[in-house]
Amino acid sequence: MDSRPLLFFDSGVGGLSVLAATCALLPQAPIVYAADSAGYPYGTKSEAEIASRVPALLGRLVERYHPRLVVIACNTASTIALAHVRSALDLPVVGTVPAIKPAALQSKSRVIGVLGTEATIRQPYVDRLAAEFASDCLVLRHGSAALVDLAEAKLRGEATDPAAYADILRGLTDQPGGDRLDTVVLACTHFRLVEPELRAALPIAYVDGADGIARRIAFLTEGQEWPSEAVDGLAVFTRVDEQVQHLAPALSKFGLSRIVTL
Ligand code: DGL
């Protein structure tokens, strides 16, 4: 029996959206979910900070938990550090990149929005995706650290203000051409966790990469053995404080019943 886990990594709870999609396909997979709470948030950090922090942390996590595969369940870390992590680790690494391709395939108005962190939306990686897959679309971008905080607050069980979501979406719709926006790429893994709130504020199409990543993980692990029964997952935080303690009920809904510090 192969008990090596899948290791998910994010700055906070955002990667739980990718974890949920993966567990739906691979319910027996042992899970280690790592959140860099001491480094949160990533979206307001510089490229240099993320490019040095993420590979170092993943190196430590891999040494400690011996995963079979690593999932960088964070668009900010993936668009900046995926290549560094891949070259540093000797195991499969799956990244998370903005789902611009599926959004462009389904947009009728040919105006799509990329809602991510400030760091993600300025990446050349996003320019390349837009040029390759959405060259006939107007691609609007908006970076929001506030929306990341709202997702974290929701998972701590706090009530969030519906007006805040509408305000954030105006960052897209108020741009020239934004009145024709019909599809928004949730280019930060946190944002799928607040998709119902976004949809209530602006009822258009929202697209993210979580299901595609889950299929990729299933493909890469095809034929591998899994424990015969689902086991409790482990949540690893780089700093455990009161905010993290408040996440415990939400984490247990995602099958993560134990919280430890790295
Ligand atoms: N969840 C992350 C992402 O997908 C980053 C959130 C943050 O720490 O700013 O980009």
Q: Determine the pLDDT at residue 53.
A: 97
Residue 49's identity, in one-letter code, is E
Nearest in space to 7 (alpha carbons), one of 254, 234, 249: 234
Q: Give the Å distance between the CA of 188 and the centre of ligand 1.
A: 5
Per the structure block, which two tokens stand in for 79?
Answer: 């668009």
What is the number of the ligand 1 atom nearest to the C-alpha of 40?
A: 8
Q: Determine the pLDDT at residue 175.
A: 98
What is the number of the ligand 1 atom nearest to the C-alpha of 43?
A: 9
The pLDDT tens digits for 115-164 are 999 999 999 999 999 999 999 999 999 999 999 999 999 999 999 999 99
CA distances 260 to 23, 33, 185, 214, 219, Å, are 21, 10, 33, 25, 30
Distance CA 124, CA 37 (A): 26
3-state secondary structure of 53: helix
Q: Determine the pLDDT at residue 165.
A: 98
pTM of the entire predicted model: 0.97
Extents of the domains making up the chain:
6-96+211-261, 100-208
Q: Determine the pLDDT at residue 160.
A: 98
What is the number of the ligand 1 atom nearest to the C-alpha of 11?
A: 8
Pocket test for ligand 1, best of 189, 191, 243 (most atoms within 8 A of CB): 189
Q: Give the Å distance between the CA of 187 and the centre of ligand 1.
A: 9
The pLDDT tens digits for 15-41 are 999 999 999 999 999 999 999 999 999
Average pLDDT over residues 221-239: 94
CATH architecture type of domain 100-208: 3-Layer(aba) Sandwich (3.40)
Q: Does domain 6-96+211-261 have CATH number 3.40.50.1820?
A: no
* Residue located nearest, by CA, to atom 9 of ligand 1: 43
Q: Give the Å distance between the CA of 189 and the centre of ligand 1.
A: 6
Average pLDDT over residues 191-213: 98
40 lines ligand 1 (CB under 6 A): yes
Q: Which helix H or strand E contains 200, and what residues bound it?
A: helix 195-201
The pLDDT tens digits for 42-93 are 999 999 999 999 999 999 999 999 999 999 999 999 999 999 999 999 999 9
Q: Phi, psi (5° rounding) for residue 82?
A: -55, -45
Q: Determine the pLDDT at residue 125.
A: 94
Query: What are the start-end ranges of the E strands in the chain?
Result: 6-10, 31-35, 69-72, 93-94, 111-116, 138-143, 183-186, 205-207, 233-237, 256-261
74 carries an active-site annotation: yes
190 lines ligand 1 (CB under 6 A): yes
Q: Determine the pLDDT at residue 1.
A: 82
Q: Determine the pLDDT at residue 230.
A: 82
Q: Let me know if the fold of 6-96+211-261 is the same as that of 100-208.
A: yes
14 lines ligand 1 (CB under 6 A): yes
Active-site residue, selected from the candidate residues 23, 58, 188, 240: 188
